[in-house]
Amino acid sequence: MTDSDISAKPSSQWYDIWMQFRSHKGALIGGIVFILIIAAVSLGPLLWPYDPTYIDIRARNQTPNWAHPFGTDQLGRDTLARMMAGGQTSIAVGLTAMLLALVVGSFIGVLAGFFKRLDNLLMRMTDLFLALPLLPILLVMMLLFREVLNNAFGPEKGIFILITVSIGITSWMPTARIVRGDVLALKEREFVLAARSIGTSNTRLILRHILPNVMSPIMVSATLGIANAIITESALSFLGLGFPPDFPTWGRLLNDATDYLQQYPERVFWPGLAISLTVLSVNYLGDGLRDALDPRIRSR
């Protein structure tokens, strides 16, 4: 052992995670793009002078120009302002629905993998949910609960709750199956058996030893869940079953632009590009987080 080895500072776990993540170029670029998109939709409306709901009939159907870089729609509303407002809604739906699906899926996966007596029941329930057709179920939920939640919370907040809950409770199954598989392997490892031998309770065993070691698949499921939720919300809005017509989302902008596809094709291009970039950057980010959080890969 040399003097330089002795004097070298030991690296922390978070430093090792960052170094592994930084070595994944695609994930680094994806993370930067995703942060830029969030910054644009969050800070852009504070700097851009146009209101996304302001109607100016004299400026309708304009192509991209200096005053309106993305052009205007059939009512004269600025497309860039509506893109930023729609991005806030689409990303908020993606993050909220992902968190709900992640909590439900991780909870069921840990219970099924750790407690053998619950495994068969929970996994058969998971298989049942996986067998259900997703889009028809979402359409039925939209039709059944839209008016109830609109009357209780208002048209915008009510549909936000309905969409996020509907996507969340129909998207937890892949996370549950992945987490269950990892827990089944982990609970037979030496460190878990040693903790059990000294009388560690099941709750502490799960929280202290099991969950930290399944963070890698959970983070990958989280990033994939964001992408899936954004696409699902866009599909519902595109079908006219999402937010109200005057409330912009990327899917609603796509829906409105289809009637003018031949005359103004750029109206379809902008929201489509935003959805594609967001989903692609999140997927690359998930790949990098999976590698960075997996101690077996970090040790290579």
What pLDDT does 294 receive?
A: 65
CA distance 42 to 45: 7
Helices (H), the chain: 3-7, 13-22, 25-47, 79-114, 116-131, 134-153, 155-169, 173-186, 190-197, 202-205, 215-238, 250-257, 266-293, 295-298
Condensed to tens digits (0 to 9), the pLDDT of residues 195-235 reads: 888 877 888 888 888 888 887 778 778 877 888 888 888 88
SS3 state of residue 154: coil
pLDDT confidence tier of residue 11, bands split at 50, 70 and 90: low
Q: How far apart (Å, rounded) are the C-alpha atoms in residues 97 and 228?
A: 9
pLDDT score of 2 more than 70:
no
Residue 283 has pLDDT above 90, yes or no: no
CA distances from 61 to 82, 143, 247, 294 (A): 14, 33, 19, 51
Q: Residue 8 has what pLDDT? A: 44
> Is residue 55 within 8 Å of residue 77, measured between CB atoms?
yes
Range 121-141 average pLDDT = 87
Is residue 250 very low, low, confident or very high in pLDDT (cuts 50, 70, 90)? confident
If one counts every other C-beta atom within 10 angstroms of the C-beta of residue 43, the result is 11
At 170-190, the pLDDT tens digits run 889 988 998 998 888 888 888
pLDDT at 13: 67
Structure confidence by residue, pLDDT tens digits, 55-112: 888 888 888 888 888 988 888 889 899 999 988 988 898 889 989 999 999 999 999 9
| 29: nearest Cα among 219, 227, 285 | 285
* CA atoms within a 13 Å half-sphere pointing along the CA-CB vector of 136: 4
In this prediction, residue 298 has a pLDDT band, given cuts at 50, 70 and 90, of low
Q: What pLDDT is stored for residue 295 in this prediction?
A: 60
Residue 299 has pLDDT above 60, yes or no: no
| Cα distance from N-terminal residue to C-terminal residue, the chain | 21
**pLDDT of 6 above 70:** no
CA distance 211 to 246: 43
| 56 vs 53: CA distance, rounded Å | 10
The Cα–Cα gap between 109 and 106 comes to 5
Residue-wise pLDDT for 27-48, tens only, equals: 889 889 999 999 999 998 888 8
Query: How does pLDDT run across 142-165, given as a tens digit for each residue?
Result: 888 888 888 888 878 888 898 999
CA dist., res. 230 & res. 232, Å (int): 5
Query: Is there a contact between 30 and 280 (Cβ–Cβ < 8 Å)?
Result: yes
Spatial contact of 21 and 291, defined as CB atoms under 8 Å apart: yes
